Each structure stands twice: as structure tokens, then as C-alpha cells.
Amino acid sequence: MKETFALVDALLEKPIQYLHVSLWDFYKKIRRGADTTQLRIEALHKRINNRVPFIGVSNLYTADDMLNAYNTGYVDSLAIGKSVMLNPNLVQLIESGRESEIETTFDWDKAEKYRYTNAMLDGTCRGIDFIQNQNNLNYAIKAKIIKKLN
């Protein structure tokens, strides 16, 4: 966390308009270099100390997820990339009260439905993805899916 704080401090010396921090999980705790009982997002919020707007992101899929994260008070705004990519109709699902239909995990059988680029899918195949727990499908099957999408 010390390295992260140093980076944040250096960034805040620059003329930036906001800071957008993407963690794997909005509620992930600090692993080392600071109080390991504290959330990373909370520690960053305290370090930034309202010097620039702070955008948080990470595994926020449903309206409740987003509202709960925002209500922590740690961020000024949220980014919801994965949810929109998995649910191109996310806004309609939320507005129509159909949150139970929101997908929160990637399904290779539905790859063509999502808003993932081929580069993202290829990264997933190689294990350098941002999609969790995809090692259960072998590379050859994934490659065929990507080829089919081309």
C-alpha cells in the first residue's frame, strides 16, 4: 500500500481532473504496508482527502451494489464497466425492476452477446483477464469461440 500511496501522492501533484482507481473488488482489504483491517478504497479516500474527485470501480453489478458502494462515502462517483459489458441492457433491466436478470459472471456460451472485444477475450484465454475464474475452460475451446466471433 505504501507504493500505492506514493503513486497517488505523485499523481495529485499533477494537474489531474479526477482519480479513477480500479480494484478487483470494491471492498477488498489492504494486504500489506498499512492497516490490513481497512478497505483499500477507504485508505485511498483518506489519502486523496477531497483534493480531486475520486471514482471507484470493481465488481459492482446491480443497482444495489452500486448504491451500497456509493453510500460508503469513499468515492464521488462509480464506474461500472464489467456490468455494462455483461449486460448491454443494464439500464433497462434496472429501470424495469428486472435486476434478477442481471448477469454477474461471464458465460463463454454467451460470448457473442457481451460487449467484450476480441483482445479482451484473448487475454482471458491466456490467463491475463479481468474475468474471474475462467481457468475451467481449456484454451482450445476458448480460441474456437473467439474465432467464431471474428
* Cβ-contact 94, 63 below 8 angstroms: yes
* Cβ-contact 56, 21 below 8 angstroms: yes
What is the reported pLDDT for 145?
A: 63
Which of 100, 82, 114, 9 lies closest to 51 in space, CA to CA?
A: 9
Which tops the pLDDT comparison, 128 or 80? 80
CA-atom Rg of the chain in angstroms: 18
What is the reported pLDDT for 143?
A: 62
What is the reported pLDDT for 148?
A: 63
Query: Does an H or E element contain 78, and which?
Result: strand 77-79
Name residue 109's beta-bridge partners.
none
Structure confidence at residue 133 as a pLDDT band (50, 70, 90): very low
Residue 23 pLDDT more than 90?
A: no
* Cβ-contact 16, 7 below 8 angstroms: no
The CA-to-CA distance between both ends of the chain, in Å, stands at: 41
